[in-house]
Amino acid sequence: MTISALRRTFILGGLSLLLGASFIGNSQAADDLLQTIQKKGSIQIGLEGTYPPFNFQDESGKLTGFEVEFAEAVAKELGVKAEFQPTKWDGILAALESKRLDIVVNQVTISEERKKKYDFSSPYTVSGIQVLTRKGQEDKFSKPTDLNGKKVGVVLGTNYEQWLKDNVPEADIRTYDDDASRNQDVRVGRLDAILGDRLAAFELIEKTGDTLAVAGKPFAPQEAGIALRKGNPQLLAAIDKAIAKLRADGTLEKLSVKWFKADVTK
């Protein structure tokens, strides 16, 4: 073999090794998050912390609620500790994308649009889009078109805002950074109605001294799942396995009855 031929063989061989190493590295990177979490011993979980009864602070300032206990149970099945990172809704998915969070457990509705950007676990709650208004006004909003021309409050960037834009474009949509401000505005008459999760509606009615009421049946069914970045199949599979176990052993139903007095997980 000539020196030129040897040189070509060496270069091609070296290139093959580099490409092979690169492929292996990329393949491992795709499913490294579960291993990283388990090595670290903790998982960073995003939630609002202001959304009772799903996740909120009790009188002592401690995070509690259905999703807090649910997320802790999932983390335990993964063999790690749950570390919560309270984050405003309008930035929570961006924090997931930037890797500040490992997962989001915050009633993130599973939609075809969101599935293009994120992976979702199997659903852990089943609910619907519910109209709430001041008590005595509930008969005015029995169908979506009743919202035409009305001031309707939604939290910015939520599924409820998008649903209104898609289904009731003639509504006067008012966006808010948080639930508390929106809820206060409907109570004092600055809004005609608000849209939210049916499961949270009854807790809100109780907290506001029955000054609010649900109006009609939910407009659209929706399922919530744990959101995570794409490209982590091992973590997704582990989370789904954990949810399946919690469902099978009755933990999910028990938590649901504790916080909602009904099983909202099916």
Q: What is the pLDDT of residues 147-165, one digit of tens each?
A: 999 999 999 999 899 999 9
What is the average per-residue pLDDT within 94-101? 97
- Quick one: 117 and 247 in the same domain? yes
Distance CA 112, CA 115 (A): 5
For 5, residues 6+ apart whose C-beta sits below 8 A from its C-beta are none
pLDDT over 70 at 11, yes or no = no
The percent of residues in the chain predicted with pLDDT above 90, rounded, is 77
Residue 1: band (very low, low, confident or very high) from pLDDT cuts 50, 70, 90: low
Residue 99: band (very low, low, confident or very high) from pLDDT cuts 50, 70, 90: very high
Examine residue 26 and state whether it is found in any structural domain, yes or no.
no
Examine residue 106 and state whether it is found in any structural domain, yes or no.
yes
Q: Quote the number of domains for the chain.
A: 2
- Quick one: 137 and 151 in the same domain? yes
Alpha carbon distances (Å) from 33 to 86, 100, 110, 192: 21, 13, 22, 45
Examine residue 27 and state whether it is found in any structural domain, yes or no.
no
**What pLDDT does 150 receive?**
98
Give pLDDT tens digits for 209-263: 989 999 988 888 889 999 999 999 999 999 999 999 999 999 999 999 999 888 8
pLDDT over 60 at 84, yes or no = yes
Task: Please give the residue range of the domain that contains residue 108.
Answer: 32-124+225-260
Average pLDDT for the chain: 89
Terminal-residue alpha carbon distance, the chain: 71
Backbone torsions φ then ψ of 178, nearest 5 degrees: -150, 165
Examine residue 100 and state whether it is found in any structural domain, yes or no.
yes
Distance CA 45, CA 104 (A): 6
Query: Which pTM does this prediction carry?
Result: 0.71
- Quick one: 78 and 59 in the same domain? yes
Residue 138: band (very low, low, confident or very high) from pLDDT cuts 50, 70, 90: very high
CATH of the domain at 187: 3.40.190.10
- Quick one: 172 and 182 in the same domain? yes
- Quick one: 185 and 246 in the same domain? no
Give pLDDT tens digits for 22-59: 434 444 444 479 999 999 999 999 999 999 999 999 99
- Quick one: 114 and 229 in the same domain? yes
* Farthest CA pair distance, the chain: 95
Preceding amide of 123 cis, omega within 30: no
Q: Which two tokens stand for residue 124?
A: 């852990």
- Quick one: 119 and 237 in the same domain? yes
